[in-house]
Structure 1
Amino acid sequence: MENNTTENNTLNGKLHLQSNGNVILKNEGAIPTSNESSSTNNSTIEQNHPDSDMKTWEEVSISVPWGLVCGKWWGPRNKQPIIAIHGWQDNAGTFDRLIPLLTPKHPVLCIDLPGHGKSSKYPQGMHYYLFWDGISLIRRIVRKHQWKNVILLGHSLGGALAFMYAACFPNEVDKYISIDIPGPSVRCLKKQAAITGHSIDKFLDYEELPESKIPSYTYNEVIELVLHAYDGSVDKQGVEILMKRGMNPVPQHLDREGYAFARDLRLKVSGLGMFSKEQVLSYAERIKCKVLNIRAEPGMKFDVYDEIIDHIKTSAEVVIMHKVPGTHHIHLVNPERIYKFINEFLEM
């Protein structure tokens, strides 16, 4: 992408340093609970960037029953973080351009959802039920670290998960920020019934695909393929950021060079465990916290967007909505258009 301003050129230069690992940490015990501060004395840290707190990040991992949930911790380690959740088939890198613009008052933990980025895939035989799984994962992390008055930040699927968590645990969320989605995707019940069989067969096809048959590409082929798949929602520089966690070298035992996608192929089957409109509206009415919704225009098509927001307003303490010109990935492509809204909201 061609940068349009000096500010963006400077920012992107800093992010290049960060995303190459200016801080490396793998020490689950360093994640603070609500009652204690973190300590990194036993951690391996490589600090190359002397800039302010929100300009540096640390690689973290959290143990879960099926392996690890990995992520990037931005800012100081001695405070409870905002939990940031990416969209479907993206990863924690989706916030790399936004987080350095946010207030340093709140550290941010950006997680890779299961099967995404560097996080462990589910075992063979297990389906991904994207919305329901995500609620449980957030809850698992919150309970593990005894965090209170949680703040959530989500894009697309991540925004829907913030919505659902706030609805399921209405007295435990202080506020959440949702980028270009009002809640879970709504499915017509007849359409859902019609695609279930096909979805199950596709899931099994992906599960049975031998490792030797998984496609591999050159670096440039990956970038161009993903850029085309996003269909204008993400620029080339954004794709390169996402692919730092989104692809891996082909395993040596396959005796070929190139890269393969890091995410679990089974994630492509996303049609199971979806919601009806009535379900989404019922959850919306349970939300009590402060809500910031940023809708990109043209963004992502969502027919009942305003209706869901109206139902949230019936019970939420505060609902603020901003419509901003941009693509569905506005936080990654044009973070300068939205960060002030988020900072103002965080100060409320």
Structure 2
Amino acid sequence: MEQRIIEEIEIPVPWGHVAGRWWGPRNKQPVIALHGWQDNAGTWDNLIPLLSVTTAVLCLDLPGHGLSSHYPKGMNYYTYWDGIILLRRIIKHYNWSKVILMGHSLGAAISFMYAASFPEEVDRIICIDSASPAVREPHVAASHTGTGIDKLLDYENLPKEKLTPCFDYDFMIDIACDGYNGSVSRRNCIVLMKRGLAAAPICNKKRGYYFKRDPKLKVIGIGTMDINTALVYASRIRCKVLNIRAIPGLKRERLDYYLDIIEKMKENTIVRYEEVKGTHHVHLETPENIVHIVEEFLNT
């Protein structure tokens, strides 16, 4: 049986590096895989081993996540928009063309936005349990702007022990599991935390672990869009699209917005929309429910 090659890589960026895990052949242009908000490249550790060993996949840790560099103090994360720029940097770094993107949640939204921004340069996208960036009514976005900015500035002034709390390993896994609210099992929290936790030499006079992700990532809601803007971006997509929605998946205030974006993309390209049983992290929790759909889409 052919052995699967796995290699950890670092890609230079102006503020440090972006880390990633390259699965499969290095002589092939890989599928670029993007994780969800506050996750990391480990989110794909259960799905990719089920794909053909000849499939190349580059799983990235987005800035501030996993093993990637954090933004400097004073810089905020505009996760959707930053993701488009980051993808552009990496694609130009490798001089790739007609890329294939695969994303979950935030990663799916970034894939959607990149395909809309560079419609002639994307071959296909796979979006798992997300169709676009989070869509908010303008009055809701406006009402959250001030509190989001104050929260960001508060983080800059917190002492380190409050900004990056440190406890024993099992307790940190408990915190992570509670945060996922049933979407990720304890077993798979451990998978994610291989890149998400780091050991601290001395923490509160004892050894412990802390979350590696940048605490500033908790500030979300700045830079969202309304449904009309999302539909315009959807109308620009020309690549083939696979959208997998988990049932029950992520609880949404407006499921109709999700489905409206799917229908808008169908006006200009081929869209395969599939509903499968699973949590929001279906690719991590029950990858066997989607692997045949993903593989078929990649090989069509």
Q: Does the TM-score normalized on the shorter chain lie above 0.5? A: yes
CA deviation map 1:204-248 (0-9, x unaligned): 111222223331111100111111111110011110000000011
What is the distance in 1 between the residues matched to 2:35 and 2:139?
29
Give the structure 2 partner of residue 233 of structure 1: 183
Do the aligned partners of residues 207 and 251 (structure 1) sit closer, same or farther apart at CA in structure 2, a change above 3 Å counting? farther
The root-mean-square deviation of aligned C-alpha atoms, in Å, is 1.3
| Candidates 17, 21, 24, aligned match of 1:72 | 21
1:249 matched to 2:199 = yes
Deviation at 1:56, TM superposition (A): 3.8
Structure 1 consecutive aligned stretches of length 4 or more whose deviation exceeds 4 Å: 251-255
SS in 2 for 1:293: strand
| Candidates 92, 105, 124, aligned match of 1:156 | 105
The one-letter amino acid of 2:75's match is M
What TM-score does the superposition give when structure 1 sets the normalisation length?
A: 0.83
**Structure 1 residues 1-348: aligned runs within 5 Å:** 52-53=2-3, 55-213=4-162, 214-252=164-202, 255-302=205-252, 303=254, 304-316=257-269, 318-348=270-300
SS in 2 for 1:257: strand
What is the distance in 1 between the residues matched to 2:2 and 2:169?
32
What is the distance in 2 between the residues matched to 1:216 and 1:106?
38
What is the distance in 2 between the residues matched to 1:240 and 1:299?
21
CA deviation map 1:123-158 (0-9, x unaligned): 011010000000000010001111011000000000
What is the distance in 2 between the residues matched to 1:327 and 1:56?
29
Deviation at 1:103, TM superposition (A): 2.5
Deviation at 1:52, TM superposition (A): 3.3
What is the distance in 2 between the residues matched to 1:186 and 1:248?
34
What is the distance in 1 between the residues matched to 2:235 and 2:171?
45
What is the distance in 1 between the residues matched to 2:283 and 2:203?
38
What TM-score does the superposition give when structure 2 sets the normalisation length?
A: 0.96
Q: Is the 8 A contact 2:166 2:203 kept in 1?
A: no
What is the distance in 2 between the residues matched to 1:312 and 1:251?
50
Q: Is the 8 A contact 2:38 2:213 kept in 1?
A: yes
The one-letter amino acid of 1:346's match is L
Deviation at 1:252, TM superposition (A): 4.2
CA deviation map 1:149-171 (0-9, x unaligned): 10000000000000000000000
What is the distance in 2 between the residues matched to 1:321 and 1:103?
23
Deviation at 1:256, TM superposition (A): 3.3
The one-letter amino acid of 1:313's match is K
Deviation at 1:106, TM superposition (A): 2.6
- Between the aligned residues of both structures, percent identity stands at 53
> How many residues matched?
296
What is the distance in 2 between the residues matched to 1:298 and 1:67?
38
What is the distance in 2 between the residues matched to 1:276 and 1:298?
24
CA deviation map 1:273-317 (0-9, x unaligned): 11111111100000000000010001013321111100011112x
Deviation at 1:57, TM superposition (A): 1.3
